[in-house]
Chain A
Amino acid sequence: MSGAEREPDLPDSPREKRGNAGEERNRPRPAMPEALDPTARRSDDEGAALDAEHAFDAREEHAPPEERAWDTALRALFATSEEPAARAVAESVLAQLPVAAEDPLALRLRSLDGAPPSSPLVPRSVEIDLRAGRIGRLRLVREIARGGVGVVLEAFDPDLGRSVAVKVLREELAGNFALVQRFVEEAQIGGQLQHPGIVPVYELGLDATRRPYFAMRLVEGRTMASSLRASESGASASRENLAHFERVCQTVAYAHARGVVHRDLKPANVMLGAYGETLVMDWGLAKVLGRREPDRAADAQAPAASPAGASARVETLRSQAAADAQLSQSGERLGTPAYMAPEQARGERDAIDERADVWALGAMLFEIACGESWHQPEAPPRSARERLAKFALEPELAHLIERCLELEPAARPRDAGEVAAALSAHLAGAEARARAAVIAAAAAETRTREERKAKRLGLSLAAALAASLVLAALFLGDRRARSLALEAQVASAIESASAARARGDFDVARAALDRAAGALDAAGADPSSDDALAAERTRVEAEARVADLRLELLRLRTNLSPPHLVDETNRRFFAELGVSRIDDASRSVKERAAELIARAPELRAEIAGVLQDWGHRKRRQGDPALRFLDLFDVAQALDDDPARAALRAAIRGRSAEVVKNAVREIDPSTAPLATIHLAAEALDAWELREESRALLLVAVERAPDELWTRWQLARQLARGGPEQRAEAELHAAVARTLHPDRLDPLLPAPERGPGPPRRDGPPHRPERRGF
């Protein structure tokens, strides 16, 4: 299901769907003129049945509280009825899942080094964690949607610094083993179907109360259902909706090729992502088919599948255990009536295969193409051909819909791949026809101009005027439409670029701007004269430069090269920035600071940090000329933040107490991270390591994806014992994950005490405390 920002009114289980259907049923019916009332045209029996239905609805709606209590009890009874086979399979599934302990570190350590954690994974609470705000290492942010089976939450993964969607089985269903199994199976199917059109499942596990959950990508966007509702003109299939639908077909084709039938395809289960992606959601009712006969397996095609693994079938524990037959309930109906194939509606579960999905695709395509729902229970039944006749659809499209909605499964396209192929062919043909029409229109325009020129003198004034007015109106209208379309295209590209810039994705931002420039160029406009476009490009380039510089600075700070190379690397960086001889103490401190401020005003704190680090290294190497102090001076002149200035002054003092006092002035919950970094460094330099780590841990909590905090913490922990070393590895791993291409992959070796003096080298200098 949803890894997704779901619309709250979208059910994701039969229970909820039926619940909605129930709401529909229970809604009071307005009085209807007899001429329009379908019951008025029905037979007496039918009318009586409907009267009884209405009376029943009314009774249910006004049922006394005691009757409602009985309803609740009966629902509870049937919700918890446990089938032995389902229980056995579900227990075997659950037994194989990892338990997400509430202590995230323990679990992560296990996953990093493969060894069991140092303390047992003992969950701590009976009640679910929504109140505790965590599932494993995932920090819960808010509830996105609540369906019949699960609750979808937004959560934050501090290790990877990203938001995810987490689906948790509803508490009251934890004892329903059939649902537990289906829930786990949904995750397994989502995890094994690797396709751009399917939300990836990141992990599956049990929370501290052994309730299953799975984490998946958080998708932002809207559903195809809401997109269709918002369409102004439903009667004509917009190219965009058809293009989305084509991608849906390709995704489902991939699933079919992997032996999976979705069983609940509908516009509400298709997400149109904010970045143009089309995702098929909610695989909670999916079924893994039995193995195909060889000829069908050979036929199976996956148009959009990646080559690797595309032909491998999905296996879930249930499919492996071949327990499906035991679990199947005769007559159990799953799905949504409006998109349900007849065999599915009849509850013939054994008869359901890819063609049931094909029916649903047909119903969706009907809705897209005709602008009305295929499912009209109140209307007399009519064949697809009859229904389609009143719409002026292109014949290929109408024929495809008709074939998908054949009552007999064998008469439908074999699977979604066949639907996708037919639709693609139709769209390609339509595109070719559109191109031909444009060419024909252009040729006609040229002919008209030529004829007008040739006949200019010969035409009567009135005729010429009329003709030119008509043409002018036509061309003005056309040009205006083109101009509006172009404006919209450029505005949309700038918006995309701005969004990409905000999340630091500068290549995507540049690509969006290039597309806009290309469109302007193609339309004969000068891209450089578009102010908005130029302004956004300037912003993108400026922010990209700062981001690049920031990463370079981080690389310098995490550089573990030998001392002489550190000097060289730093000097080269500053020279490239335009500041030469940065560590030349004969140059004035103010002059060097002013040059740095001129080159990178946004990065004063970061550059000061690099200079401090550089100074620290020099100091540790034993710098007899105390040149490191010069680097601190430049840092001090560069970064005028008062708190950091006070800290630097304290660092240069002669006692740990001075440093401690300066650090006490800082509020770690609000201070800028650069200040916390500096304070932690100062504490560490005076061997106040516990205090230093405590500060950094607050910073990690505040900004889990901030690389330097992680790295600084890792570096300090790495100097501790084996347990701290393991924790250091964790933070280093997170830091490397955040910026895999920008960091030295090594963590500093564990710090050792002073060894014996080397015979052939300089005498060992004990580590200095403070300055």
Chain B
Amino acid sequence: METSLPTRWSIVHGAAAGDAEAARVFAETYLGIVRAYLLKRWRGRAEIVGVDDALQEVFLDFFRAGGALGRVDPQRPGGFRTFLFGVVHKVALRHEERAARERARAAATPAAEQASPERDQASRIFDRTWALELLQRAHTRLENAADGDADAQRRLEILRLRFREDLPIREIAALVGLEAVRAHREYARAREEFKAALRAEVARTVATRGEDPERECRFLLELLG
């Protein structure tokens, strides 16, 4: 399993310094999270039709000269997640205000009726989106690592049967063709592998100093609780 990838901060700094490759990796990495967050934030609202415009705006905000990436501060409390949320929230608010003005002009619906979510609420939606994205990445990481490894694939299947289908281990054992005792062991191992994968993903999002991956990991788990 990979352990020596640069943190997101190094990519952030690279992108801020005008490194095209770093900017591409940065965009690829966070595009999914930001889009998922905006979709959730605007579910049921008129703004949802402009989600891709807003997405573009977010990344323009990051990459333009003197843009958000130039202001990034690794020491800021909350780390990169909080920084990313701040930028996205600002763009989302801009879109919401614009949409409210347009509605008021058209006099169709009073602007106040589609008030933006409170910052706290918006932040919770963002954090949850973030947490789920990291879980997905940890899972993808395990899937990639299991490529060609039948035992590792079986362990992933055990996790799926346990948590998607809520099957007891005894039934899972029968389904994957293992003795129950061994199925228990494999299940425990799969959990540990997943924890390690998530920690690795979390580590990629935090700064090399000042931030504690373990604490961030616990924070993610709390978000999903």
Contact = CB atoms under 8 A, between A and B. Distances in A.
Contacts of A333: 165, 167
B180 interface: yes
A743 interface: no
A210 B109 CA distance: 19
Contacts of B198: 73
Contacts of A75: 163
B225 interface: yes
A50 B184 CA distance: 11
Contact of A14 (B44, B114, B139, B166): B166
Contact of B180 (A18, A52, A76, A122): A52
Interface in A117-163: 119-120, 122-126
B224 A78 contact: no
Contacts of B113: 122, 124
Contact of A76 (B132, B162, B165): B132
A154 to B, nearest CB: 23
A341 to B, nearest CB: 16
A14 B135 contact: no
- Tell me what chain A mostly uses at the interface: helix, strand, loop, or mixed: helix
Contacts, number: 113
Interface string B161-183: 01111111110010100011100
A208 B42 CA distance: 11
B43 interface: yes
B120 interface: no
Nearest to B221: A69
A77 B135 contact: yes
Contacts of B45: 123, 126
Interface string A71-94: 111111111110000000000000
A375 to B, nearest CB: 13
> Taking each of B44, B167, B169, which has the highest tally of chain A beta carbons within 10 Å of its own beta carbon?
B44
B81 interface: no
Given A70-B195, A72-B221, A347 B164 contact: no
Given A14-B166, A71-B163, A209 B114 contact: no
A602 B192 CA distance: 76
A14 B165 contact: yes
Contacts of B218: 66, 69
Contact of A77 (B114, B163, B180): B163
A15 B175 contact: no
A52 B181 contact: yes
A25 B168 contact: yes
B160 interface: yes
A207 B131 CA distance: 27
> Taking each of B159, B169, B179, B222, which has the highest tally of chain A beta carbons within 10 Å of its own beta carbon?
B169
Interface in A29-88: 45, 48-50, 52-53, 56, 66, 69-81
A19 interface: yes
Contacts of A50: 180
A22 interface: yes
Contacts of B194: 70, 74
B29 interface: no
A81 B45 CA distance: 24
A122 B103 contact: yes
A751 interface: no
B181 A49 contact: yes
> Taking each of A15, A19, A53, A174, which has the highest tally of chain B beta carbons within 10 Å of its own beta carbon?
A53
Nearest to B36: A175
Nearest to A102: B113
Interface in A508-547: none
A22 B168 contact: yes
Contacts of A207: 44
A182 to B, nearest CB: 14
A45 B178 CA distance: 13
A441 interface: no
Contact of B135 (A45, A66, A73, A174): A73
B170 A18 contact: no
A172 B152 CA distance: 29
- Tell me what chain B mostly uses at the interface: helix, strand, loop, or mixed: helix
A49 B180 contact: yes
B191 interface: yes
B43 A210 contact: yes
B63 to A, nearest CB: 28
A45 B179 contact: yes
Given A25-B168, A77-B136, A331-B175, A119 B109 contact: yes
Nearest to A24: B168
A399 to B, nearest CB: 31
Contacts of A211: 44
A22 B169 CA distance: 10
B46 interface: yes
A594 interface: no
Contacts of B162: 74
B108 interface: yes
A634 B195 CA distance: 85
A45 B179 CA distance: 9
Interface in B126-165: 131-132, 135-136, 139, 159-160, 162-165
B101 to A, nearest CB: 14
Interface in B21-43: 40-43
A211 B221 CA distance: 26
A444 interface: no
A211 B42 CA distance: 13
A332 B159 CA distance: 13
Contacts of B108: 119-120, 122
B203 interface: no
A76 B224 contact: yes
A21 interface: yes
Contacts of A76: 131-132, 135, 224
B164 A79 contact: yes
B163 A74 contact: yes
A126 B135 contact: no
Given A53-B170, A73-B135, A126 B41 contact: yes
A123 B44 contact: yes
Contact of A69 (B139, B180, B225): B225
A484 to B, nearest CB: 48
B98 to A, nearest CB: 15
A126 B195 contact: no
A671 B191 CA distance: 65
Contact of A126 (B117, B164, B170, B225): B117
A210 B40 CA distance: 11
A142 to B, nearest CB: 23
B132 A70 contact: no
Contacts of A332: 165
B220 interface: yes
B166 A80 contact: no
A80 B132 contact: yes
Nearest to A13: B166
A125 B170 CA distance: 45
A621 to B, nearest CB: 43
Nearest to A332: B165
Contacts of A69: 218, 221-222, 224-225
Contacts of A66: 218, 221
> Taking each of A49, A74, A76, A80, which has the highest tally of chain B beta carbons within 10 Å of its own beta carbon?
A74
Nearest to B222: A69
A102 to B, nearest CB: 9
7 contacts: A22-B166, A45-B179, A52-B184, A74-B159, A122-B108, A124-B109, A331-B175
Interface of A: 14-15, 17-19, 21-22, 25, 45, 48-50, 52-53, 56, 66, 69-81, 119-120, 122-126, 174-175, 207-211, 331-333, 347
Given A70-B194, A77-B136, 5 more contacts: A14-B166, A50-B180, A71-B163, A73-B135, A209-B44
